[in-house]
Amino acid sequence: MPGTVLLLAASPVGKGCLVDAASVLPVLAAVPPAVLAGTDTANVVELADPLEPQAVLTRLRAAAAAAGPLTVFVTGQLQLDRRQHLPHLALARTTPSTVRYTGFPWHWFREELRLRAAGTTTVLVDLHADAEAWGWLRGHALECGSTVAVYGRVAPPPGRRTVASPTYMKAVATILRSGGRPAVEQLHQAALGRIAGEGEVGDLVLGAAARVPPGGSAPWTPDRPERPRPQALPEGGPPDGLVGDPHAAISSAVQAGNHADADALAARWQEAAAAAHGAGSQEALHWAEVRADLAMFAGDAERSCRTWMAVAAARLAAGQAVDAPAVEAAVDRAHHQWGRIADTARARDLGPALADLRARVPGRREGALDHVQRQLRQLQLSSTR
């Protein structure tokens, strides 16, 4: 099966730049795609100094939807937003005061990669942290979800007025160009050995393989930065008549095109979780999110939009903040699916509720509420013609 490779290199323009991230792209681009991916054939997507976080999200989302193995190479610098103190990959327009709106939130990697099967996704990173992000890393892990293997390093802030070089990623590329494709763990250790030999010490080393559950199937449980990950199975065991890992069964149904069966199975687990923990529990909301994604896979944008809106409303009703990552993600996905509803009458009917939700949860993308209101006005005008 063909692999997919996403090459992402980003750093701010101007004096806020800590690392010349884009300098690694010519070296990586010289590596044959199949070697980058570790597969017989591969598709490569390159993002050099992107301006907008939504552009990165679109490419990451498309790469995550690929069926085969996915390898993501991320080079850049890590900064915290001033409001929630969450890590972001700084983009070309990022400044310390605009990180929240111009940077790429690290937890978006988890959000977009959460449905991929364990063992199919590898993220290699070469990051430089600013002083605040470096302090944050002392008490927090930088990861992309339990089913994603993450390797690489995070370097401390370079000296004043110094722009560092992404030496770890360049070492990775150089090793791959020399021929052969070592296992990712061996590749990682070889790259660390090279930069250590050049005198680079004191980095935070990342080397976490994906955790595969018993039986080899991948859980679809979304990792949330503000809450513990919910248990896959509700207390009291599975619903009557169901055995085994539900996520594997749902995944198989989707791959076979049996979307109705997949949704029916997820609905039964959602009902069981609601009965055991309550309709607004993390366990029940997990299955609601699974069903929202299943609707998207089935091409039913309206149902996906409604489900994501319901998830967002439930999280808000449970007391989660309007800027909590899980709440923002649910509203962003509802907004995205609303834009894909082909029936203008249905989109028009759903628009006011989405606009009300957007007013409460504006999200990180500037102008998101204006976009909903503008599109809704156009839909309403079209109905009077």
pLDDT tens profile 103-153: 999 999 998 898 788 889 999 999 999 989 998 888 888 889 888 999 999
Residue 217 has pLDDT above 70, yes or no: no
Q: For position 330, what pLDDT does the model report?
A: 87
Q: For position 244, what pLDDT does the model report?
A: 62
At 36, the pLDDT band (50, 70, 90 cuts) reads very high
Question: By percentage, how much of the chain surpasses pLDDT 70?
Answer: 87
With CA atoms as reference, report the closest residue to 363 among 303, 308, 282, 299.
308
For 304-366, give the secondary structure using H, E and C.
HHHHHHHHHHHHHHCCCCCCCHHHHHHHHHHHHHHCCCCCHHHHHHHHHHHHHHHHHCCCCCC
Residue 294 tokens, joined: 């299943």
Q: Which of 42-56, 80-94, 109-123, 305-319 has the weakest average pLDDT?
A: 109-123
Q: How confident is the model over 348-361, as pLDDT tens digits?
A: 999 999 999 999 99
* Contact yes or no for 41/47 (Cβ under 8 A): no
At 385, the pLDDT band (50, 70, 90 cuts) reads low
